[in-house]
Amino acid sequence: MALSETRDTIVLSLGFPALERVPHAMMREAITEVVAASGPAAFFYAPSEGLSTFRDALAGLMSTRGASLSADEILVTSGSHQALDLVARLFLEPGDTVVVESPTYLGALQLFRAARARVVSVALDEQGMRTDHLEAALTRCSPKFIYTLPTFQNPAGRLMSLERRQRLLDLAYRFRVPVVEDDIYSDLWYGQPPPPSLKALDPHGYVLHLGSFSKILAPGLRVGWIAAARPILRRLVQVKQISDLQAPTLGQMVVERLVRTRRFVEHAAAARREYARRRDAMAQALERHARPWAEWSVPEGGFYVWCRIAAPVSATTLAAEAAERGVSVLPGSVCLAQDVTDTYVRLSFSFAPARDIEEGIERLAKAVRRAAGRARPGVGPVDSTRPMV
């Protein structure tokens, strides 16, 4: 969905950050500084692995989060989506297996399907990926990697406990399977900071860690990264080179300036306060309008509420009905590797201002009442061009 298409709709479907939270004045200032300091180099080619000073800054950022690594274990990518694409290109041949959570990031499913991989899903509970189910899956199949979102999962909002993280790593070591940790929401916590990343807990180099500035800073910058053990990283750099040579130079320089000063940290704190307000607005609106027909839990971070529709209407039908009433929600079935259930919607509280969220949930409640009056469960139109984020 383009920004221009969101005007007359209350958007609860997209994983976009808030447009008003993009710190454009701070960016303008940083761009001016970068151009003054670097001149034409700001617009020139950079190494495929990323600018060495920026990789240093990223290593520093990760060390503040408990993962001690050096610049040569980091590859700068054009967003974390490309990071995942590079991983898929390096690891997957048609027919290979990859283990994911159920539900999981829609864009990952699309990438793995494009690689013609077999996707095996493992259920989540309140503590994240069910490691007992993971163990059973690893016993049955030999995946090329496990793809997990332990911190404020997209779409289910779950936070994997420290114990689960340890258990997941133990299984990865025992079955000798790499773990791809998609960690792009970890700055967005609204109570306590999350437990250490899988990368920080992994002394053996099994974890490939994906990071991004898209949600916390600005998605159009297209600046993300992969942190991985050196032998894997070197191969990823080759894939990156073949794919698009390098991530944008100006974006790397701008983000480096913000990360090296207090500006990024201060911006992140302000962003957390705003998204916490929006999360609370959604939680209150759901309490007021959705109790009879929905079940959900309030996430401690990230952008999403995963909501089970306990009314006789499929999520896909509900989404279509809601769209007619001027509110967009994402039917959860698109986040499932096996399209077996159509009873969840993903509600995002990041893009719509807090004042619109209540109205959006009220409209959704009306849509439920109307759709439940006439639709049968499990039936509904399928739109093949749904957004990826």
Ligand X SMILES: Cc1ncc(COP(=O)(O)O)c(C=O)c1O
Are the beta carbons of 84 and 108 closer than 8 angstroms?
Answer: yes
User: CB of 209: closest distance to ligand X in angstroms?
Assistant: 12
- Is residue 314 involved in binding ligand X (CB under 6 A)? no
- Is residue 224 involved in binding ligand X (CB under 6 A)? yes
Closest CA to 149 of 170, 168, 177: 168
- Pick the stretch among 121-129, 198-206, 212-220, 268-276 that binds ligand X (CB under 6 A): 212-220
User: CB of 365: closest distance to ligand X in angstroms?
Assistant: 26
- Is residue 252 involved in binding ligand X (CB under 6 A)? no
User: Rounded to whole angstroms, how far apart are CA atoms 300 and 298?
Assistant: 7
Nearest residue to ligand X by CB is 79
| The two three-digit tokens of residue 142, written as one number | 């030999």
- Is residue 184 involved in binding ligand X (CB under 6 A)? yes
- Is residue 154 involved in binding ligand X (CB under 6 A)? yes
Toward ligand X, which CB reaches closer, 90 or 310? 90
Residue 64 — φ and ψ, nearest 5°? -65, -15
Toward ligand X, which CB reaches closer, 150 or 178? 150
Which of 9, 49, 50, 81 is close enough to bind ligand X by CB under 6 A?
A: 81
- Is residue 15 involved in binding ligand X (CB under 6 A)? yes
Toward ligand X, which CB reaches closer, 143 or 219? 219
Return the sign of the alpha-carbon dihedral for residues 20, 26, 31, 34. negative
Q: Which region holds residue 371: left if phi is over 0, alpha if psi is between -120 and 50, else beta?
A: alpha
Q: Kindly report the number of other CB atoms within 10 A of residue 337's CB atom.
A: 21
Which of 23, 50, 79, 251 is close enough to bind ligand X by CB under 6 A?
A: 79
Are the beta carbons of 260 and 152 closer than 8 angstroms?
Answer: no
Which of 194, 219, 301, 380 is close enough to bind ligand X by CB under 6 A?
A: 219
Toward ligand X, which CB reaches closer, 227 or 375? 227
User: CB of 56: closest distance to ligand X in angstroms?
Assistant: 21
H or E segment at 231? Answer: helix 230-244
Number of amino acids touching ligand X (CB under 6 A): 15
User: Rounded to whole angstroms, how far apart are CA atoms 344 and 310?
Assistant: 9
Concatenate the DSSP letters of all residues of 99-164 into one string.
EEEES--HHHHHHHHHTT-EEEEEEEETTEE-HHHHHHHHHH---SEEEE--BS-TTT--B--HHH
- Is residue 17 involved in binding ligand X (CB under 6 A)? no
User: CB of 90: closest distance to ligand X in angstroms?
Assistant: 17
Closest CA to 9 of 232, 326, 330, 254: 326
Which of 9, 131, 151, 212 is close enough to bind ligand X by CB under 6 A?
A: 212
- Is residue 50 involved in binding ligand X (CB under 6 A)? no
- Pick the stretch among 79-87, 111-119, 282-290, 320-328 that binds ligand X (CB under 6 A): 79-87
Concatenate the DSSP letters of all residues of 290-354 into one string.
TTTTEE----SBSSEEEEEE-SSS-HHHHHHHHHHTTEE-EEGGGG-SS-----EEEEE-SSS-H
Toward ligand X, which CB reaches closer, 106 or 285? 106
DSSP state of 200: T
| Residue 286 C-beta-side C-alpha neighbours within 13 Å | 23
Toward ligand X, which CB reaches closer, 82 or 333? 82
- Is residue 214 involved in binding ligand X (CB under 6 A)? yes
- Pick the stretch among 27-35, 78-86, 244-252, 259-267 that binds ligand X (CB under 6 A): 78-86
Binding site for ligand X (CB under 6 A): 15, 79-81, 105, 107, 149, 154, 182, 184, 212, 214, 219, 224, 389
